[in-house]
Each structure stands twice: as C-alpha cells, then as structure tokens.
Amino acid sequence: MAPTLSAAQALVLYSVAAAAALLLSPPAVVAQLTPNFYDKICPLALPTIRRVVSQAVNAEPRMGASLLRLHFHDCFVNGCDGSVLLDDTTRFTGEKTAVPNLNSLRGFDVVDKIKSEVDRVCKRSVVSCADVLAVAARDSVSIVSILLYQVPVGRRDSRTASKNAATNGLPPPFFSFNQLLANFRSHGLGLTDLVALSGAHTIGLARCTTFRSRIYNDTNIQTDLASSLRRNCPQSGGDNNLQPLDGTPAGFDTQYFGSLVRNKGLLHSDQELFGRGNSASDGLVSLYSGNPAKFAADFAASMVRMGNMRPLTGSNGEIRTNCRKIN
C-alpha cells in the first residue's frame, strides 16, 4: 500500500504550501488573486462549490480526476481563464474539439451545475467560471484525500478561445522528458512542477488510445504489465477502453510514483519522468514515492502556481453567466 498523508501533516500543509507558491508567483498576480476574494462578495460561494463537487465525486469517483484535468487544460492554454469551457461560435472555434480534448475532457455538466448553484446562493453572477475550475480542482483532490490548500481566487473569464492554442499548448502522452520539461518551462513552470503535477495521475482512468503505443512499442515497461494491458487495449479498436492510471485510481496517494520506479507507468509521458537519464527527475520521483508529505506540499504549491498563470483580473474579461458562452 502506498504511504498516505496524516491528518496532522495535512493541517500544516494547508497554509504552508499555498504561501510558498504565492511567494514564488509574479507580484501583480499575487496582488489581485487572494483566497479571501469572495469572503464579503459571497461567503457561500466556495462552500457551495465543494458541496456540488462532493456530490458529483460521490456519484462517480472518476469525476474528481476529470475536474482536476479540466483546470489543467484550461490553464495551459492562454492562462486560467475558463476558455476551455466555451462552445464554438461563429467568431471562434473553441478548445473542446482540439486533439488533446476531443472525446477526452469531461465534467462540463458538473461545472454547469456548480455555476448554477453558486449564482443561486450568491443571488447574482459574481463567481467566474475560471474560479469554479480552480476551486473544483482543489476540492476534487481534498475529497479523496485529506490534502487541503488555499486557492487564490478573483479570476475573470475570457471572451474567446482557441482550438489551435489547445492543440499546440497541451503536452500529449507521447512526449519525451525533454519535450515535457520544455512545455512546462514555456508556461513559466519548472521541473518540480512537472513531476509534482504529473502526480495528479494518481487518480483517474486513461483511454486505450492514450497508452496503446506504450504497451506495444516501449521497452521500459514491465513485461507482465504490458501483457495484461494488451488484453484490454488491442492494437486496433477499443480506443475508449479504460484503464486505471495507477493501482489506486480512487485514492490520492503516492502509488503513481512507486509505479514509475518499477517501470509500471501507464502513459509514455509518465514513465519518461523516471529512468530516462535526468537525475533530478529521478530523485523527485523516488522522494515522492516514499514521502507523501513532501509530495503533498509540492503538489499544492505547484497547483497554486499553475492556477496563477496569466489570469484575467480587474476589468479584463468578464464574469460569464453561462460557462459555455460569452455574455
């Protein structure tokens, strides 16, 4: 069984990790995003988001990973601005049909429900869809673990989206280590962020199409694992057959990193983090596999850093009344 985080450790990490991330964020972002943004505007906003997320995850455990992934795919395309939620219009082609997102991203209905409930308790539309994604991602993790961290909020929503930006900006599962690190650095993130945020794959499932090449072509995969996976993921067909990303897909733990150490990473891009000649990455994977408190702290700090990527604040953008379309 993978090591788990104690309640005492989680309470300490609640504020420490977020504070560390804020100190490393650009001053302009820190000044406009704050965990207390909605305290006076609508104090019921964040508890309402958590309530709806909890209901969704309890109904379908996989939904936690899906909501977490929505936030990642939003932030890595022109910043954390809710653009991933927009449907196509006559003015632009949205991001939902980009190759990394098509038939892959899910949870849009849950976001709609969160937005509806938040607007109801706030009695008006004051919480952005971008903030809904950021807070729902945090809640998705804390509901299946005891990891808590503060989410700076105050983002506003974009009035456009870009299919091309999504196609080119999101790292695919076949990337090499160097390509993954270059991608993260292009977004202002670093090696620790790459390894820590990849740890989000400790929950959820992956489709056959995302790992087929690995189980038939890669040599750095445990033989028995590859043979087992091939039974559920044939060389042709079965693209949407699902496989857990690690041995405990409903629990946020360090099983994912232990799998990498044993050459049992499901995705090619996951296994690239260990055993590919980068001693720093190897060291982090090994550290996290046996130190859940360190992983939790780094993951929380990296989530806050990612959430601070190019947000719209002040008078920029808008607060959408419907997350799927501009006002």
Query: Binding site for heme b: residue ranges?
Result: 201
CA 229 to chain centre: 25
Among all chains, which residue has been given the structure tokens 């109801």? 120
Token pair, residue 172, equals 């695919």
Active site residue 187: no
Q: Residues at the annotated binding site for Ca(2+)?
A: 74, 77, 79, 81, 83, 95, 202, 246, 248, 253
d(CA 266, CA 215): 8
Residue 2 near residue 253 (C-beta atoms within 8 A): yes
The residue count for the chain: 327
d(CA 232, CA 249): 17
Token pair, residue 322, equals 């419907």
Residue 208 near residue 232 (C-beta atoms within 8 A): yes
Q: Is 326 helix (H, G, I), strand (E, B) or coil?
A: coil
Nearest 5°: the CA angle 307, 310, 312 is 100
3-state helix, strand, coil in the chain (%, to 5): 50, 5, 45
Q: Which residues of 213-246 are buried (b: 16+ CB within 10 A; e: fewer)?
A: ebbeeeeebeeebbeebeeebeeeeeeebebbbb
Token pair, residue 276, equals 């590919």
Q: What is the sign of the dihedral through the CA atoms of 76, 78, 83 and 84?
A: negative
d(CA 65, CA 58): 12
Supply the residues annotated as catalytic. 73
